[in-house]
Amino acid sequence: MKNKIVAGNWKMNTSFSEAEDLLVAIAEGINDMILETDIIVCPPFPYLEMAADVSEESGFLVGAQNVSSEKAGAYTGEISATMLKSAGADFCIVGHSERRIHFNESDEMLIKKVNNLLDEDIIPIFCIGEQLAERESNKQFQVVENQLNNTLFHLPESDFERIIIAYEPVWAIGTGKTATPQQAQEMHAHIRKLIEEKYNLKTAYSTYILYGGSCNSKNALELFACQDVDGGLIGGASLKAEEFIEIINAAETCIKNN
């Protein structure tokens, strides 16, 4: 069994000093742990450099939450992949449903974002997942397949191998309505099968597929214990160091139990 990944998506939360406190608390919390889990912390842009500094003394990795679809130039307010890399980010969330829904991010934009990140050697954490109405009409498998076909499956194998996938059912994000372990496992196995059909068994096996959506210290263990769930992308519960560390502990327990 491969290791797990626990990634924290702070979204648009924390002031500078709150971010500093949280980073230090995470660093201290994992200080004495011999970790087999990869921990990725994704704070807002202004705190990336601070996160990178704290991470040097600690065992976590740093990611951003978004990147521009453009490379450089006259795009006021945008943040390029080159900037992320120079600020210390080695990962970046792309295609989060909050960006697709509130900022109208299209498949074309997502493709450009992934390409820009890969050009800078930043690993995309690519989010896919169905809306509530789609699940209620049993279209979730088709929706996720379309998302993969439209945004990732054009990549050559050597690039696809560098992607982390996060399955985040939109109805589970920030709602307290977590997918059941059965629902998560079923979808993760489906995603892995699609990767195998498009690429091959080795790539399908080695691709990390994280679960996201109301994952917390109470449900992390049963979700992470599912065969095809390689860890979690955590929103609200990543904003409290103790809670985040308990989720990391759940991932460690799963690794040790296998």
38-42 and 123-128: which strand pairing?
unpaired
Residue of 105, 120, 130, 168 with catalytic role = 168
What's the min distance (Å) between Cβ of 221 and ligand 13P? 16
- Select the span of 73-81, 193-201, 213-221, 243-251 touching ligand 13P (CB under 6 A): 213-221
Respond yes or no: is residue 96 known to be catalytic. Answer: yes
The residue from 96, 98, 134, 252 that is catalytic is 96
Whether 234 and 247 have beta carbons less than 8 Å apart is answered as yes
Closest contact distance (angstroms) between CB of 228 and ligand 13P is 18
Q: Is position 236 an interface residue for ligand 13P (rule: CB under 6 A)?
A: yes
> Which of helix, strand or coil describes residue 4?
coil
Which of 55, 66, 185, 214 touches ligand 13P by CB under 6 A?
214
Q: Count of alpha carbons within 13 Å of 162, Cβ hemisphere only?
A: 17
User: Measured in Å, how far apart are the chain's first and last C-alpha atoms?
Assistant: 7
Find the binding residues for ligand 13P in span 172-191 (CB under 6 A). Answer: 173-174
Is 168 considered catalytic here? yes
Task: Choose, by CB under 6 A, the member of 120, 130, 168, 252 that binds ligand 13P.
Answer: 168
Q: Does 122 bind ligand 13P (CB under 6 A)?
A: no
Cβ neighbours for 113, distance < 8 A, ≥ 6 positions apart: 67, 68, 69, 81, 94, 95, 124
Smallest gap, in angstroms, from Cβ of residue 97 to ligand 13P?
A: 7
For ligand 13P, which stretch binds (CB under 6 A), given 130-138, 148-156, 208-216, 223-231?
Answer: 208-216
Distance set, CA 85 to CA 3, 66, 98, 103, 255 (Å): 25, 12, 23, 23, 30
d(CA 90, CA 121): 7
60 has which bridge partners?
39
Q: Is 58 in the site for ligand 13P (CB under 6 A)?
A: no
Chain residue at closest Cβ approach to ligand 13P = 235
Stretch that binds ligand 13P, among 28-36, 113-121, 148-156, 234-242 (CB under 6 A): 234-242
As a whole number of angstroms, the distance between CA 140 and CA 191 comes to: 11
- Yes or no: say if 81 and 92 are a contact pair by the CB < 8 Å rule: yes
| Binding of residue 213 to ligand 13P (CB under 6 A) | yes
Count of residues that interact with ligand 13P, criterion CB under 6 A: 14
Residues belonging to the active site? 96, 168
Binding residues (CB under 6 A) for ligand 13P: these are: 9, 96, 168, 173-174, 212-215, 233-237
